[in-house]
A = this chain, B = another copy of it.
Amino acid sequence: MNPEKTLTTLRDELRKFAQERDWQPFHTPKNLAMALIVEAAELVEHFQWLSPEQSASLDEKTQEEVAQELADIQIYLARLADVLGVDLMEAAYRKLAINAAKYPVETARGSAAKYRPNRL
């Protein structure tokens, strides 16, 4: 990964992208959340009829399409975080600490049903 390309630089690029096109009025949190879930569904669509095993060994064409869907989600996520004034990386690390406390290693091993709602 290019060390100069980070979530911070992506955020700035997206801000400029929206400004240059006068698209800020459309970028309300409500609208961006909708756009984000639409992109998430385009990702899900690639996997809907695949077995779990098939989903782990995509052909080259699907792999590239899926990578572009992941990119779209990252883009809307970074843009929405910016509009809301949320530091995405800080929030992610903070959530990770919460999850680590919630699912201690010793008790969370394997498939215990009580941990089903979450796996990260």
Spell out A's residues near B (CB within 8 Å). 1-2, 5-8, 10, 13-14, 17-18, 20-23, 25-31, 33-38, 40-53, 55-56, 58, 63, 66-68, 70-81, 83-84, 86-96, 98-100, 103, 105, 108-111, 116-117, 119-120
Would you call B28 and A38 a contact (CB within 8 A)?
no
Would you call A84 and B108 a contact (CB within 8 A)?
no
Q: How many copies does the complex hold?
A: 4
Query: Closest CB of chain B to A51's CB: distance in Å?
Result: 7
8 interchain pairs, CB-CB under 8 A: A2-B89, A21-B105, A22-B109, A29-B55, A31-B48, A37-B37, A41-B41, A49-B116
Q: Which residue of B lies closest to A96 (CB)?
A: B13
